[in-house]
Amino acid sequence: MKDVFRVRRMWRPRGELRDRYDVVIVGGGSHGLATAYYLAKNHGITDVAILEKSYIGSGAAGRNTTIIRANYRTPEGAEFYRQSVKLYEGLGADLDFNLLFSQQGHLTLAHSDRGLITATERAEVNQLLGIDSRVVGPEEIARLCPEMDLSQDVTWPVMGALYHPPGGIIRHDAVVWGYARGADRHGVEIHPYTEVTGIERSNGRVTGVQTTRGPVRTDMVVSATAGWSTLVADLAGVPLPITTHILQAFVTEPVKPFLDVIVVSSQMHVYISQTDRGEFLIGAEIEPYTTYSSKGTFSFLEYSARHTLELFPQLERVKVLRQWTGLCDLSPDYSPILGKTELDGFLVSTGWGTYGFKAAPIVGTTLAELVATGETPRLIAPFALERFYTDTLVSELAAAAVSH
Amino acid sequence: MSFLLPCPNCGPRPVDEFSCAGEVTVRPQGAPSLRELTSYLYFKRNVAGVQREWWCHRLGCEAWFTAERDTRTNEVLSIDVPEPAGPAAPDAPPLPDTPAV
């Protein structure tokens, strides 16, 4: 009984940085922590250090809008995210940690014939891969989401939607903490406030990293640093086809729960869900210019609030509680870049734009397999950095045209 | 952070009126290899610091110009209106920088 009241640390406090590790992971977000966790759990590789320049989960892992889904457009992307959703479904049990995952369904609204065609195309690709996804008409939307304004005399009347029942939301911080605790229990070292300042190379191979707490020797560096990917890859002399943009979101004050699906409109550049606490969580499109400044903009708040009110006029008097931004690493084809680079021993997980958080478990398992075996798993082969040199892109533009 | 961008015709205007065509790149000359072409098309420097980039005053006078902006603070240091490139003669000197769009 007294065990119930004992304060337990989630993971060990930061220890001394040793001078050698088998694997160094740069970035203590959902991807870095998941990779470390699966390295230890699936492959028994525990001599791993996670180097994070700030606190764990301080970047994109703590700033996303927590949406999990698999209804992508390309077969490569859809299959990848299907496996990610499957892993998320069992993740709470795997990590022995409540992640508050609720698969409440995901509606991508179509306001035009073009929108319906895209939705149909995505539904076809999804169904061939066994993903639960279909096009629904206004009657079924009214049944799924009776609170939404479905009248026809508005700027963008709702003509139909792509309905994806397994789509849901999850507690993003809990995912980070669960992975950190799981990795720590397997012996992985987590080093917050340890910034990588250089990557040592010799004969086309990684030999170590320089950090603000001294040098570390290693043969394997995994960069999972989202918006800062280019800067870390620069240290290794590896060019990336990445531009860094900000993505913004805001929450309203909590109101009585009435929305139990996630609503996305790519025409209006807005996606809306209601959290367990009753707050409306609203996100939008990335800003079109590159920037590393994570300050929010008023114009974002203005247009996303306006578009939200088009769909949910009843929120008119609800106040905005807070607004934030995150840095996104955008690739030219809106698909991730995952795996080997031209520098031996330097792996990247980048190009995640606005869809990285929902991929964390599958990135972790596949990257861990790549580190352990040296072979690129079939699932992530289409996402190699090399595709930009050979011009064999994986265009996910239609599905990712609205971000989340 | 929203910021003002000085249009060469209209003066300082909110950034939402402009479209950004990305960093200024150098087009490969002669008969480039596939790798040179794809490097030019896809790979970006994406600097955290001062960057020279193309802008168009899309919702205004539609003028194209380049700006030097610090991507860490969004402070615009200077703008420039390059001369139009014109058709290249066979023995013409290398083309000026062109937008990567």
Overall average pLDDT of the B28-44 stretch: 93
| pLDDT tens by residue, A83-128 | 999 999 999 999 999 999 999 999 999 999 999 999 999 999 999 9
B58 contacts chain A (CB < 8 A): no
| pLDDT tens by residue, A269-325 | 899 999 989 999 999 888 999 999 989 999 999 999 999 999 999 999 999 999 999
Query: Does residue A398 surpass a pLDDT of 80?
Result: no
B34·A390 Cβ contact <8 A: yes
CATH hierarchy code of domain B4-83: 3.30.2270.10
CA distance A31 to A7: 28
Question: Residue A321: what are its φ and ψ, rounded to 5°?
Answer: -90, -50
CATH hierarchy code of domain A243-330: 3.30.9.10
Question: Whose CA is closest to A190, among A55, A339, A40, A94?
Answer: A55
Q: What percent of chain B has pLDDT over 70?
A: 82
Instruction: Please state, rounded to an integer, the average pLDDT across all residues of chain A.
Output: 94
Min Cα distance A288 → chain B (Å) is 7
Give the model's pLDDT for residue A383. Answer: 96
- Domain edges within chain A: 15-65+172-242+332-400, 243-330
CA dihedral A347, A353, A358, A360 (to 10 degrees): 20
Closest chain B residue to A333 measured between Cα atoms?
B42
Which residues are bridge partners to A264 per DSSP?
Answer: A108, A271
CA distance A65 to A250: 9
Give the model's pLDDT for residue A403. Answer: 45
Closest chain A residue to B101 measured between Cα atoms?
A332
Same fold, A15-65+172-242+332-400 and A243-330: no
A230·B19 Cβ contact <8 A: no
A290·B20 Cβ contact <8 A: yes
CB B19 within 8 A of CB B101: no
A240·B16 Cβ contact <8 A: no
B71·A293 Cβ contact <8 A: yes
A231·B48 Cβ contact <8 A: yes
Overall average pLDDT of the A232-260 stretch: 96
| pLDDT tens by residue, A188-229 | 999 999 999 999 999 999 999 999 999 999 999 999 999 999
Give the model's pLDDT for residue A9. Answer: 86
| pLDDT tens by residue, A27-59 | 999 999 999 999 999 999 999 999 999 999 999
**What is this model's ipTM?**
0.87
Overall average pLDDT of the B44-71 stretch: 96
Min Cα distance B10 → chain A (Å) is 20
A15-65+172-242+332-400: CATH superfamily: FAD/NAD(P)-binding domain (3.50.50.60)
B59 contacts chain A (CB < 8 A): no
Q: Is the dihedral of CA A19, A371, A357, A10 positive or negative?
A: negative
B46·A391 Cβ contact <8 A: no
Q: Considering only the beta carbons, identify the residue of B42, B48, B71 that sits closest to A332.
A: B42
- Domain edges within chain B: 4-83
| pLDDT tens by residue, A132-170 | 999 999 999 999 999 999 999 999 999 999 999 999 999
Give the model's pLDDT for residue A48. Answer: 98
